[in-house]
Chains A and B, each alone.
Chain A
Amino acid sequence: MSRSYLFIPGNTPAMIQNLDVFDSDAIIIDLEDSVNAFDKDAARSLIENFLTKYAFDEIKIYIRINSVDSNYFYSDVNQTADLAIAGYVLPKASVKAIKQLNQVSNKKIIPIIESPMALLRVEEIAKQQNVIALLFGAEDYTKELKIKRTLEGTEILYARSIIAIAANAYKLDAIDTPYTSKDDEEGLKTDALNAKNLGFNAKALIHPNQVAVINEIFAPSKTEIAEAKRIIKKSEETKQGAFSLDGKMIDLPIIEKAKKVLEKAKKYHL
């Protein structure tokens, strides 16, 4: 359960060695798009040496490896296999690609749903062994559909909805696509709220200055926490599966939801 997943380029020591100062719940160290072909080996060695020397208890660290159909996939997995990471982020995900990764690793997997075909197969992807979350990659997805992205996100509404539904149906984390205008805070807020309202519980991000907004939006608000506390208190007092609170019917799904809100609030010290 993380709210923010910050991408950090895998070959930049200045970013990597400061990964614990950005306040992101999770970090994705990238070996794919942000590392040029010539320096893939250098990035692998840098990450290996860094994570061998330093440990982080409070932050979940993932590595985005290169896709299974690239020339770098096996080298990425082999050189990072023994590192204490939370798992791999797998680009260009497909059922076949996840099975291929599971053949060479037991680590947890966050597949990136970033093609129309992956979207059509998203439920199968969600069911694969070791998959713990679904991450939407809207840039590649819209590129494949040859459409433009907008702030309103109507062009990705269907994809977002299906991914959020699949993730929630299989009790996985639903991680929304990054918002790429790094200096547009209002746009980021709108985009993140749109995703949250569709069922996403986290968002990936590409710049540290986006962390605070994302963490706030994907954490329970003070009102939500107070409401959840009242529901749990009344539930404990009445010891009934269903009861009335302020004229509203409260039953098991609402009580479970309230428990989740309080779990989140506790985790994030709210």
Chain B
Amino acid sequence: MKVSAGSLESSDCLITLSPSKELKITIESSVFDQFGDQIHEVILETLKANNLFEIAVVCLDKGALDYTIKARMETAIKRMRENNE
């Protein structure tokens, strides 16, 4: 089941998580060339901190800073876990 957190407003990002048999991270961002690696790193670190290695993440970025990406990831993960309870 898919879960989301965040928005497509400026300075925000919309994170969507869905079940997967492998780790898949998809990032769409107008600043991908400059910050794509950094966004990927924040997503990966948040997944690791939550022991999640088999999951699909889609991040639609609208210029979010690291703290926002991390917050939206954490909220989406929490919602996914609540749905699974």
Contacts and interface: CB of A to CB of B under 8 A. Distances in A.
A50 B72 contact: no
A188 B56 CA distance: 50
Nearest to B67: A49
A42 B74 CA distance: 8
Interface string B1-13: 0000110011110
Given A42-B6, A49-B68, A13 B12 contact: yes
A17 B79 CA distance: 24
A78 to B, nearest CB: 13
A140 to B, nearest CB: 27
A46 B71 contact: yes
A41 B75 contact: yes
B70 A49 contact: yes
Given A42-B6, A42-B72, A13 B78 contact: no
Contact of A41 (B11, B68, B70, B79): B79
A42 B78 CA distance: 10
Given A13-B12, A14-B9, A45 B64 contact: no
Most chain A CB inside 10 Å of its own CB: which residue of B9, B67, B68: B67
Contact of A48 (B11, B71, B72, B79): B71
A197 to B, nearest CB: 40
A269 interface: no
Contacts of A14: 9-12
A41 B64 contact: no
A7 B67 CA distance: 21
Contacts of A130: none
Contacts of B74: 45, 49
Given A12-B9, A14-B11, A17-B11, A46 B68 contact: yes
Contact of A17 (B5, B65, B72, B78): B65
A146 interface: no
A53 B67 CA distance: 7
Interface string A21-49: 00000000000000000000110011011
> What is the interface of chain B mostly: helix, strand, loop, or mixed?
helix
A48 B70 CA distance: 11
Contacts of B70: 49
Contacts of B11: 13-14, 17
Contacts of A42: 5-6, 71-72, 75
B72 to A, nearest CB: 7
Contacts of B75: 41-42, 45-46
B14 to A, nearest CB: 11
Contacts of A46: 67-68, 71-72, 75
A13 B65 contact: yes
A50 B67 contact: yes
A20 B13 CA distance: 22
Contacts of A41: 75, 78-79
16 contacts: A12-B12, A13-B64, A13-B65, A14-B10, A17-B11, A17-B67, A17-B68, A42-B6, A42-B71, A45-B74, A46-B71, A49-B71, A50-B67, A50-B71, A53-B66, A53-B67
